[in-house]
């Protein structure tokens, strides 16, 4: 089993390679891909080797084939249909800005408890009531959910999703969700990310001699 960081990097490589391909690149060297990804060339070679792809030493990797290999490795036979829980400001931002980025990952249904959101189409996605959750998850073969509800509602929503058979969640609520072993959860905690930026930015500012 690869680590979470390896999977993140492979996803990033595919994204960068796809862009390079549209710009006409047929081959890419490990150090070039490393430069784009903010990694080391050794790291790139290790990651690429771990998915069973090998480039030719003189020409580098074939961009199209490497994209294909990463896809074979990353893309599971699991349904790529996603449910969005919560269509407040964050949910709307996710629908409008992120829904269309990957053809293989698609938000097919949204859910909310607010009467003025239910049964409406918001940024191209129909919003349903929670009563319909179980049925829609089964009929639409949804395996993944994005949790964009307030912190106090996140755990009950996660419980309902687990009962409905969801296998993975991307959680934006600032709580640690308790889930059964067979469910994978990743957290996007914007406050923690900001604290990290603040910490390392502070160290960099000290180095510059601006403060301290």
| CB of residue 40 to a copy of itself, shortest distance in Å | 14
Gap between the Cα atoms of 81 and 145, Å rounded: 9
Of the candidates 7, 21, 25, 113, which one interacts with a copy of itself according to CB under 8 A? Answer: 7
Read off the tokens for 195.
Answer: 């604290």
Q: How far is the CB of 99 from a copy of itself (least distance, A)?
A: 10
Q: Does 110 sit near a copy of itself (CB under 8 A)?
A: no
Q: How far apart are the first and last CA of the chain?
A: 45
Assess 25 for contact with a copy of itself (CB under 8 A): no
CA 113/CA 104 separation, integer angstroms: 28
Strand blocks (E) in 15-102: 27-28, 61-62, 81-85
186 binds a copy of itself, rule: CB under 8 A: yes
121 binds a copy of itself (CB under 8 A): no
Supply the minimum distance, in Å, between the C-beta of residue 128 and a copy of itself: 20
Binding status of residue 138 toward a copy of itself by CB under 8 A: no
Cβ(62)–Cβ(27) under 8 Å? yes
List 76, 119, 135, 139, residue binding a copy of itself (CB under 8 A): 76
Q: How many residues bind a copy of itself (CB under 8 A)?
A: 69
Angle among Cα 63, 64, 65 to the nearest 5 degrees reads 95
Contact between 137 and a copy of itself (CB under 8 A)?
A: no
- Of 26, 42, 49, 193, the residue at the interface with a copy of itself (CB under 8 A) is 193
Rounded Cα distance between 27 and 65, Å, is 10
Q: Give the CA-trace dihedral at 7, 12, 18, 22, to 10 degrees.
A: 180
Cβ burial, residue 201 (10 Å; 0-12/13-18/19+) = exposed
Q: Is 135 in the site for a copy of itself (CB under 8 A)?
A: no
Residue 101 as a binder of a copy of itself (CB under 8 A): the answer is: yes
129: left (phi over 0), alpha (psi -120 to 50) or beta: beta
- Residues at the site binding a copy of itself, with contacts judged by CB under 8 A: 1, 4, 7-8, 11-12, 15-16, 36-38, 74-78, 80, 82, 88-90, 92-94, 96-98, 101-102, 105, 143-144, 146, 165, 167-170, 174, 176, 182-186, 188-208, 210-212
């Amino acid at each position: 089993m690869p680590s979470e960081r390896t999977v993140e990097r492979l996803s990033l490589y595919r994204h960068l390679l796809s862009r390079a391909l549209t710009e006409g690149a047929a081959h890419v060297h490990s150090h070039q891909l490393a430069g784009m990804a903010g990694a080391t060339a050794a790291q790139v070679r290790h990651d690429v080797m771990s998915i069973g792809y090998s480039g030719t030493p003189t020409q580098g990797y074939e961009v199209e084939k490497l994209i294909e290999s990463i896809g074979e490795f990353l893309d599971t036979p699991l349904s790529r249909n996603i449910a969005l829980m919560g269509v407040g400001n964050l949910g709307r931002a996710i629908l409008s800005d992120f829904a269309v980025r990957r053809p293989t990952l698609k938000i097919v249904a949204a859910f909310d408890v607010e009467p003025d959101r239910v049964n409406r189409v918001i940024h191209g996605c129909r919003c349903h009531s929670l009563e319909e959750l179980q049925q829609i998850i089964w009929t639409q073969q949804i395996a993944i959910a994005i949790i964009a509800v307030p912190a106090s509602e996140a755990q009950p929503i996660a419980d309902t999703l687990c009962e409905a058979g969801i296998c993975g969640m991307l959680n934006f609520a600032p709580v640690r969700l308790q889930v059964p072993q067979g469910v994978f959860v990743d957290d996007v905690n914007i406050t923690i990310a900001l604290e990290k930026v603040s910490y390392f930015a502070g160290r960099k500012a000290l180095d510059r001699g601006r403060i301290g």
